Chain A
Amino acid sequence: MTGLIEVAQTTLEDGDLSGKAQVFAVIGTVLFLGLVVELVRRRRLVERYALLWMSTALLGVILAVWNGGLNWLADRLGIISPVNALFLIGLVAVFGLLLNFSVAISRLSEETKIVAQTVSRLDAELRALRGRAENGRGNGAESGDEAAHQRAGSAGSE
């Protein structure tokens, strides 16, 4: 087994990812994609974010497997070791995702705030209405005159 890999490595050009590393990258990505799909299936992750993660993972695995692409990219970026180009791209992708989440969280907290404020106002108004309704009923049961009097009074004040 180790012999086989050594043979494979001798055919690699300088700077290419080894076959071993590529196998790990593919296995890792497949497991990761499986996890994402499972989270969506259990409704713990919405599709929008699932797509984001899946496309990031796919980009990573393509670059890990396709040595030509990675070498070309590293060359363009002026990075000597292609594997560093891979790390750089991974890091940039992660930063992008995180910033995206901060934006999403900011929007969520703004929306949550508005909902909370509206709920509290409706709650206060409902209590006020209910209190008045109960007062009206109570008075009616005790003495009809008083309730009628109060109705007249409140009508006059409007």
Chain B
Amino acid sequence: MPEEDRKQLTKLAIVPAYNEEGMVGRVVREINRQAPGFDVIVVDDGSLDATAIVAEREGATVLRQPFNLGIGGAMQAGYKYALHHDYDVAVQVDGDGQHKPEYLPSMLEALQTSGEADMVYGSRFLGDPGYKVPWGRRFGNRIFGVLLSLIVRQSITDPTSGFRMVNRNGIELFARDYPHDYPEVEAILLLHAHRLRIHEVQVRMNARGFGESSIDYPRSAYYMIKVMLAIFIGLLRRRPTPMDGPPPDTGEFEPVAPGAGAAGVHAREGDG
């Protein structure tokens, strides 16, 4: 790899994208430019446009979901990939351009130095968000922030931020169990229940690259109620368990190339 990186950590940027052909190319390019140590995987969540083709043209590996799974399922596909290919670090960078890759190096720094955090996430509200957050979002954030802070006994200023970097522990947990519809808030509870530690860093985000937020008013009401329900039922569980039924997909398959570790395969791709 061109960039020297301490301890030779393998790092993966997971870019969930749904109908983002206009934006995803720029996101991949920016990650490659600002954080060249990261391999990039775009999770095309059943897009109807050319998202996968654009992402591939920029050199990203693409996980094509056969149909739309929603952000939770898409991100989990990314974490599963990270687990299978033995990555040490994985970070979510949204395909709509909201998350700025320029923060990746400092988030990585925080993950490695901030007293054994398992997840470092970028909070808009540690400082000035830098753009006008719609009041509905701000309100939701405040409520969830207060609730979560009480439960996890640590200040969570931006519980709906998806800009998150996890270490191997986080990758293993999220590959095994990740919430469905609106995963951000629940994922924090999940980390807490598994005694994984969370650390906040201040970031600014772009207002969404394209169009309006995908969450309109009726839907944000549904969002609030659904997440509340998840929080309270989550508290009733002694420890969150994956749904019963199929065994969790944690890697019964052999690595791709015999002899070569999956991570090695990936590294060579990066060289070529």
Shortest CB-to-CB span from B86 to chain A, Å, is 13
A152 within 8 A of B: no
B77 within 8 A of A: yes
Q: How far is the CA of A132 from the CA of B269 in the complex (A)?
A: 9
Shortest CB-to-CB span from A125 to chain B, Å, is 5
B5 within 8 A of A: no
The residues in A between 125 and 158 inclusive whose CB is less than 8 angstroms from any CB of B are 125, 128-129, 132, 135, 154, 157-158
B105 within 8 A of A: no
Q: How far is the CA of A114 from the CA of B69 in the complex (A)?
A: 10
Is the beta-carbon distance between A107 and B243 smaller than 8 angstroms? Answer: yes
Is the beta-carbon distance between A121 and B245 smaller than 8 angstroms? Answer: no
Is the beta-carbon distance between B249 and A124 smaller than 8 angstroms? Answer: no
Is the beta-carbon distance between B268 and A124 smaller than 8 angstroms? Answer: no
User: Known contacts A110-B245, A128-B61; is A121 also within 8 Å of B80 by CB?
Assistant: yes
| CB-nearest residue of chain A to B242 | A110
Which of B122-130, B148-156, B256-264 faces chain A?
A: B256-264
Q: Select which of B66, B245, B272 is within 8 A of A120 by beta carbon.
A: B66
Q: Select which of B63, B257, B264 is within 8 A of A124 by beta carbon.
A: B63
The residues in A between 66 and 115 inclusive whose CB is less than 8 angstroms from any CB of B are 106-107, 110-111, 113-114
B42-74: contact bitstring with A at CB < 8 Å (1 yes, 0 no)? Answer: 010000000000000000011111110100010
Q: Select which of B62, B246, B260, B267 is within 8 A of A110 by beta carbon.
A: B246
Q: Select which of B62, B69, B260 is within 8 A of A113 by beta carbon.
A: B69
Interface residues on B, range: 20 to 34
A123 within 8 A of B: yes
User: Known contacts A121-B84, A158-B260; is A116 also within 8 Å of B267 by CB?
Assistant: no
Q: How far is the CA of A111 from the CA of B246 in the complex (A)?
A: 6
B271 within 8 A of A: yes
A-B Cβ contacts below 8 A, count: 65
A4-25: contact bitstring with B at CB < 8 Å (1 yes, 0 no)? Answer: 0000000000000000000000
Interface residues on A, range: 20 to 34
Is the beta-carbon distance between B67 and A118 smaller than 8 angstroms? Answer: no
What residues of chain B lie closer than 8 Å to A124, measured between beta carbons? 41, 61-64, 81
Shortest CB-to-CB span from A100 to chain B, Å, is 14
A2 within 8 A of B: no
| CB-nearest residue of chain B to A123 | B64
Is the beta-carbon distance between B246 and A119 smaller than 8 angstroms? Answer: no
Shortest CB-to-CB span from B235 to chain A, Å, is 20
What residues of chain A lie closer than 8 Å to B264, measured between beta carbons? 158
| CB-nearest residue of chain B to A131 | B269
Query: Which residues of chain A have a CB within 8 Å of any CB of chain B?
Result: 106-107, 110-111, 113-114, 116-125, 128-129, 132, 135, 154, 157-158
Is the beta-carbon distance between B256 and A128 smaller than 8 angstroms? Answer: yes
In the assembled complex, 23 residue pairs joining A and B whose CB atoms fall closer than 8 Å, in A order, are A110-B245, A110-B246, A111-B245, A113-B69, A113-B76, A116-B65, A116-B69, A116-B73, A117-B65, A117-B77, A117-B80, A118-B249, A120-B63, A120-B66, A121-B63, A121-B80, A122-B253, A124-B63, A124-B64, A135-B272, A154-B268, A158-B264, A158-B268
What residues of chain B lie closer than 8 Å to A111, measured between beta carbons? 245-246
What residues of chain A lie closer than 8 Å to B265, measured between beta carbons? 128
Q: Select which of A107, A113, A119, A121 is within 8 A of B81 by beta carbon.
A: A121
User: Known contacts A110-B246, A116-B69; is A125 also within 8 Å of B256 by CB?
Assistant: yes
